[in-house]
Amino acid sequence: MNFLDSKIPAGPLAEKWTKYKAEQKLVNPANKRKLDIIVIGTGLAGASAAASFGELGFNVKVFCIQDSPRRAHSIAAQGGINAAKNYPNDGDSVQRLFNDTIKGGDYRAREANVYRLAEVSNSIIDQCVAQGVPFARDYSGLLANRSFGGAQVSRTFYARGQTGQQLLLGAYGALSKEIEKGTVKMYPRREMMDLVVVDGRARGVIVRNLVTGELERYSAHAVVIASGGYGRVFYLSTNAMSSNGSAIWQCYKKGACMANPCFTQIHPTCIPVHGDYQSKLTLMSESLRNDGRIWVPKDAEKARLLREGKIKATDIPEDERDYYLERRYPSFGNLVPRDVASRAAKERCDAGYGVNNTGRAVYLDFKEAIQRLGKQAVEEKYGNLFEMYERIVDENPYVTPMMIYPAVHYTMGGLWVDYELQTTVKGLFAAGEVNFSDHGANRLGASALMQGLSDGYFVLPYTMQNYLADQINEKPLDENLPQFEEAELAVRQRITRILSINGDIVTDNIHRRLGRIMWEKVGMSRTEQSLKEAIEEIKALRKEFWTRVKVPNVEGMNTELEKALRVADFLEMGELIARDALMRNESCGGHFREEYQTPDGEAQRDDEHYAFVAAYEFQGVDNEPILHKEELKFENVELKQRNYK
């Protein structure tokens, strides 16, 4: 049997999930009470999974790094959530959502998973409305939709510019309901430090209580990792400050394969960087591209004057503006997928047409929309985004065009999972951004929320039972088993080692430099040479970290230690990302290798050699990991060069 068994049910695509559910094993109510499940993370995937497990009757232990489950970074998603409801009657269907997602992912996702995602998308909307999520509505009282990048239909449901917040609060409400009932036990301000594997199965975790600094042990019959993506390996990203890849990395080191790590998404509409001390980048919802038009000056000389602050954007007349997305992609225009929009912005800036004092920005203009819809309508749709922009940049976007530039936003890669969302470690499941499964090489806008909730509400509650049905005779594990002892000891040693370095550089300094290597050499476009350089530079930086980092040795709460532990993992993860990007001799979706492009600068896939999932098996920090390939079979879509022209 192949090392990577994707366990895709047989039968026609549209019937796979129904068939799976009909044939899977279930756990009866009396036995559910005897089974414990650990969930790491309380974002959309974690909270919805934990709540659903609780409702089914399992004993659930949930951990989050923040002070409250409601803070998870899903909360920051702005634009919306896709579903194939076809309420606007514009030709949408499950099949079309599936097609768009597969195509948007540049044919590097598994058909069966994506189809299931499209299939359950409608139930998610029903569920959220029933939970009281205040989605936008028309005057008829029915739900409103907007369009989003990569789609020709309006299938995105939204709650102003705060859709992620509202969906997360819905899931948080469901979770709170279960906490009140006692089926779920919540452990806030805890960070996972290691996975405990007993006899080849995930059976517990070691966590650090961030308040006391103590290590704690928890056992369970299954573990779900839903701790989000690893975008902060780039230091500057739209991710929250505590977002990290450490839970993923611990699982990777304990035998879970890491899939397609190089597939990271650069989001086109972020507020440009303004200084060295900057801690994070702020995303402006992609929905802005519905009404905003992206441009740079046609004349490079004008761009220079703009950079030097000698003229203003509003001084450039209409016919001297290059609406480059509309020019290059007439049929999708400003609504091309994220990777395409991001690279196009970089291309213009590299060619000398960039604006802002850094030359690393393009304009997103609402003049036309304000004329067409009126200021009030624009304000109603995007008011909070405009406010946010003005607060950060100190310019009024109703008057002067916004400036945007791409930034790291989402990681499509992640732990390899089969159809059941189970990793290569038995009993270890991965949900939401943590897993690699549904977005291929590029995620479409408004699909992250869909996937997180799909995994948590509608997939894991089924597939988890199929696994747990075999575990009903297993007693809860003793947390004093040697495997727990060993895991805790290893964590303790790692912490002691970091604290004992007592060097002369703060963690953020190293993280910032790692970010610079990643952004310059493993970022929006990569070359064989840049990647090779990056691998060496990351290795050197890692060495520097372990000899020169300075972390204060204080009892209890130690935020610097938290950061250092995460950066130590990023320093290993960055290398794997570069290795994967180097292995993949093609361009696809968010992965753009300069050597592999079409004559007009589009990503050039190599379906013959690279239509596979690259899953890496850990072999030690300084050793090359083993590459396992899961061939992707496309039986229901025709592989085409993505074309948004």
Partner 1 sequence: MNIKLKIWRQRNATSKGKFVEYQLNDVPAEASFLEMLDILNEQLVLKGEDPVTFDHDCREGICGACGLYINGHPHGRFKNTTTCQLHMRKFKDGDTITVEPWRSEAFPIIKDLMVDRSALDKLIQAGGYISVHTGGVPDANAIPINKHNADLAMDAASCIGCGACVAACKNGSAMLFVGAKVSQFALLPQGQVESADRVQKMVARMDALGFGSCSNTYACQAECPKGISVTNIARMNRQFLAAKIAEPIKK
Nearer to partner 1, 391 or 475 (CB): 391
Write the DSSP string, 620-635. Answer: -TTSPPEEEEEE---S
What are the Cα distances from residue 352, in Å, to 401, 454, 526? 19, 43, 20
Among 80, 188, 261, 413, binds partner 1 (CB under 8 A): 188
Residue 369 binds to partner 1 (criterion: CB under 8 A):
no
What minimum distance in Å lies between the beta carbon of 618 and partner 1?
29
435: three-class secondary structure by DSSP: strand
Task: Give the HSE-up count for residue 278: Cα atoms under 13 Å, Cβ half-sphere.
Answer: 17
Q: How far is residue 432's CA from residue 307's CA, in Å, rounded to a whole number?
A: 40
Among 559, 585, 598, 619, binds partner 1 (CB under 8 A): 559
Q: What is the 3-state secondary structure (H, E, C) of 233-297?
A: HHCCCCCCCCCCCHHHHHHHHCCCCEECCCCEEEEEEECCCCCCCCCCCCECCHHHHHCCEEEEE
Residue 285 binds to partner 1 (criterion: CB under 8 A):
no
What minimum distance in Å lies between the beta carbon of 464 and partner 1?
13
Residue 556 binds to partner 1 (criterion: CB under 8 A):
yes
Name the percent of the chain in helix, strand, coil, to the closest 5.
45, 15, 40
Instruction: Name the packing angle between helices 507-521 and 528-548 (round to 10°).
Output: 170
Residue 554 binds to partner 1 (criterion: CB under 8 A):
yes
Residue 134 binds to partner 1 (criterion: CB under 8 A):
yes
418: three-class secondary structure by DSSP: coil
What mask of x and - would describe binding to partner 1 in positions 439 to 458, judged by CB under 8 A? ------------------xx
Residue 236 binds to partner 1 (criterion: CB under 8 A):
no
How many residues bind partner 1 (CB under 8 A)? The answer is 86
- 8 A C-beta contact, residue 259 and residue 251: no
**Side chain identity, residue 235:** Y
Q: How far is residue 31's CA from residue 489's CA, in Å, rounded to a whole number?
A: 33
Residue 352 binds to partner 1 (criterion: CB under 8 A):
no
Across the strands, what pairs with 267? 407
Among 73, 103, 146, 232, binds partner 1 (CB under 8 A): 73
* Touching partner 1, residues 31-70 (CB under 8 A): 48, 51-52, 55, 66-70
Diameter of the chain by CA atoms? 75
**Side chain identity, residue 628:** H
Residue 92 binds to partner 1 (criterion: CB under 8 A):
no
Nearer to partner 1, 113 or 244 (CB): 244
Q: Which stretch in 4-12, 117-125, 323-331, 615-623 sits in contact with partner 1 by CB under 8 A?
A: 117-125
Q: What is the 3-state secondary structure (H, E, C) of 1-20?
A: CCCCCCCCCCCCHHHHHHHH
**Side chain identity, residue 574:** G
What minimum distance in Å lies between the beta carbon of 564 and partner 1?
10
Among 93, 123, 209, 400, binds partner 1 (CB under 8 A): 123
Instruction: Name the packing angle between helices 507-521 and 559-583 (round to 10°).
Output: 20
Residue 22 binds to partner 1 (criterion: CB under 8 A):
no
Instruction: Name the packing angle between helices 111-130 and 163-181 (round to 10°).
Output: 80
Which residue of the set 201, 338, 360, 443 is catalytic?
A: 338
Write the DSSP string, 449-460. Answer: HHHHHIIIIIIH
Residue 379 binds to partner 1 (criterion: CB under 8 A):
no
Q: How far is residue 404's CA from residue 284's CA, in Å, rounded to a whole number?
A: 8
* Touching partner 1, residues 490-509 (CB under 8 A): 504, 506, 508-509
* Touching partner 1, residues 205-234 (CB under 8 A): 211
Nearer to partner 1, 127 or 465 (CB): 127
Q: Which stretch in 138-146, 413-421, 435-443, 477-485 sits in contact with partner 1 by CB under 8 A?
A: 138-146
User: What six digits make up the tokens of 384?
Assistant: 């909070």
Residue 385 binds to partner 1 (criterion: CB under 8 A):
no
Residue 577 binds to partner 1 (criterion: CB under 8 A):
no
Among 137, 327, 372, 497, binds partner 1 (CB under 8 A): 137
Among 85, 298, 513, 532, binds partner 1 (CB under 8 A): 85
Residue 145 binds to partner 1 (criterion: CB under 8 A):
no
What mask of x and - would describe binding to partner 1 in positions 511 to 550, judged by CB under 8 A? ---------------------------------------x
Q: Which stretch in 20-28, 106-114, 124-132, 539-547 sits in contact with partner 1 by CB under 8 A?
A: 124-132
Nearer to partner 1, 131 or 597 (CB): 131
Q: Which strands, in side-by-side order, build the sheet including 258-259?
A: 414-415, 258-259, 612-617, 626-631
Nearer to partner 1, 101 or 237 (CB): 237
Please indicate whether residue 338 is annotated as part of the active site.
Answer: yes
Q: How far separated are the first and last CA of the chain, in Å rounded? A: 43
* Touching partner 1, residues 401-440 (CB under 8 A): none
What minimum distance in Å lies between the beta carbon of 235 and partner 1?
13
Residue 135 binds to partner 1 (criterion: CB under 8 A):
yes
Residue 398 binds to partner 1 (criterion: CB under 8 A):
no
Q: How far is residue 252's CA from residue 246's CA, in Å, rounded to a whole number?
A: 9
What minimum distance in Å lies between the beta carbon of 515 and partner 1?
14
Catalytic positions are: 338
